[in-house]
Chain A
Amino acid sequence: MVVEAMPERQSASVVLMFAGGSRQEDDRLAGVSHFIEHLYFKGTKKRPTSKEIADAIEGVGGFINASTDKELTAYWARVPAEHMNLGLDVLFDIIANSKLDPADVERERMVILEELRMYQDQPQDYVQNLFEELIWPGHALGRDIAGTEESVSRLGRDDILEYADAHYRLPNLVVGAAGSLDEASTISEVTRNLSLRPDMNGALELAPPLPLDSPRVLVRRRGTEQAHICLGARAVSYLDPDRYALDLLNTVLGEGMSSRLFLNIRERLGIAYDVHSFTQKHRDTGYLGVYIGVDPKKAVDAVNAVMAELRSLTEHEVAAAELARAKEFTKGRLRLELETTNGVVFWLAYQELLLGEINTIDDEIALVDAVTAADVVRVAAEVFSRPMQMSVIGPFSRDSAFRLAIGA
């Protein structure tokens, strides 16, 4: 359990964060973690409908929600501080006492299938899914967190109950609380609510993805007005000491309106409407990717311009002023993220669950400050020497020009 007293705040945020997400699912069970997350809001013995669950929290002006990720699933509530115990009660209630009514399973299956189809109609998001399929081919990390239409259609109530029983156990849980709270009474309240099974049902399996041996391009032909492109390469995990250098590399490259991609490709060349970079990190792998939203006629030109920016980062050290700006950007964003009780509780619970230790904000800032320009160019050279992968959605009937652009 992680607790942070923030006595000057009006709110308290509580989170139940479980190790295990879509990465732990095999093809047959793809999407089950996300399915369970939806079902837990349908009703419990004490609060039999979703309305009663929502009313309990919204009745005091609070928020309740959940999210499923690839390596974790989180249920959270943010409430006025004096109602923190109510927040904990509702969260533990939905985790331990959900009815998982067969009719709700069928209704929610339809909702999730619609969600999957809706996502495919959003090319800016869907292109990232396709990119992750290329980055982690044949691996659960490369699959949509919500599963596939086939797997979601097939999942039975028994599969769901079995999976929930196996994964929603105490050893997989981190409870977090932050805000205007008393530490001792919070711990006591959490202890009173804990009714999950204390034993483990086997270790969580984390099969690493296989190495990539060549660059690849995946073009999905759609009659879109814009071309949507994701390109990038495998990068480091969240346990790797180079993760701070990777984050600064990403900031210099494509985060915000002072980044190289924005200034050179959008502002100077005027090629792309939207261009930015992003990272994703997991226990044993990660990637650095670039998204480009562009007029289809300029699609390959934009890819070439991005490739030139990547090459430049591998060949020349980032100037001192640019690196200093990137550090201030990173540190500032971290501080802003930790303004809210929700931000603090997620930050602490993530660290406890994924890293097994908790850095203070000062520790994190020191680690960011310790990165040198030589570190950034070294990490850039390592990342961009790996096989580039690129997904494209747009009105394209062949991929040869795209393959040429990334040497595939």
Chain B
Amino acid sequence: MIFYVIRRLLAAIPTLLAVLTLVFVIVRIVPGDPAIAILGDRATPAAVAALQAKLGLDRPIWEQYVTFLGRSLSGDFGSSMVTNRPILTDVGAVIPHTLDLTIAAMLIGTIIGVPAGVWAALHRNRAIDVAARLLSLIGLSFPVFVSGIFLLLAFALHWRIFPVIGNANLADPVDRLTKLVLPAATLGLVMAAYITRVTRSAMLQVLDEDYMRTARAKGVPWRRVVWRHGLRNAGLPVVTVVGLYVGILIGNSVLTEIVFNRPGLGKIIVGALNQRDYTMLQGLMVIYCFLIVVVNLLTDLTYGLIDPRVKQA
């Protein structure tokens, strides 16, 4: 296992470099001079030149690139142009909220999605299956800001079961939890829809396999055959999708945070967009890149845990 982990870690390096290069290119190909964009059209040439020097924009492009890579890899993501605070300080302040939301959404998605997918596969083309397919398609079709607003209208404004404002007091567990329910449900239900579909089709492919019949013939109880022999083999595609889903989850969490007015990475990115805070945007994109590479790494490592064959490959 240790060699597998090391190999995966080494393989993540080129990906990280490639993603960082993409960020560098995206920020640079945008037309217009960032210094002029920040200072406005009426800025004096001297002021523009001074800001360009401060941002390092007057140096050759390869030098900018090397500096950018070096800083990013050493964990220096820069400071906000507007507040001058280090980006990591701002991000660190909202991390607990973001983690609460992401973990809760993943739990809801898995707890509903996996059993629903297995159940639908076992009752292929029967009423349960048709209902599961239709519900998951509807779940997938909801943009999260629409489902978020609908949940808000129903449970916070009409029935008044949950609070409207989502800025939770982290020290108070009850407050933290009640303010988490609606946002987590918004994100988690979409995720459950994805997982149901993938689990269902992965299970359908496994159900006809010889080893399932053999286990059955040996007298292993059906329940055990499905959950131990079936689901373990159907697990790889499910984990892949959950890993890929993190990209969508990040985008969806931006919308959820806006609807429920929760602090988080999403609100920071929208704030930076409104203030044209370029250094903040670049730093946030780098942080997203690290996040994605780490998630891909975790997905790979999970493969190794589920399927011992992967480690030897």
**A and B are interacting partners:** no
- Please give the residue numbers on chain A whose beta carbons come within 8 Å of chain B beta carbons, in ascending order: none
- Please give the residue numbers on chain B whose beta carbons come within 8 Å of chain A beta carbons, in ascending order: none
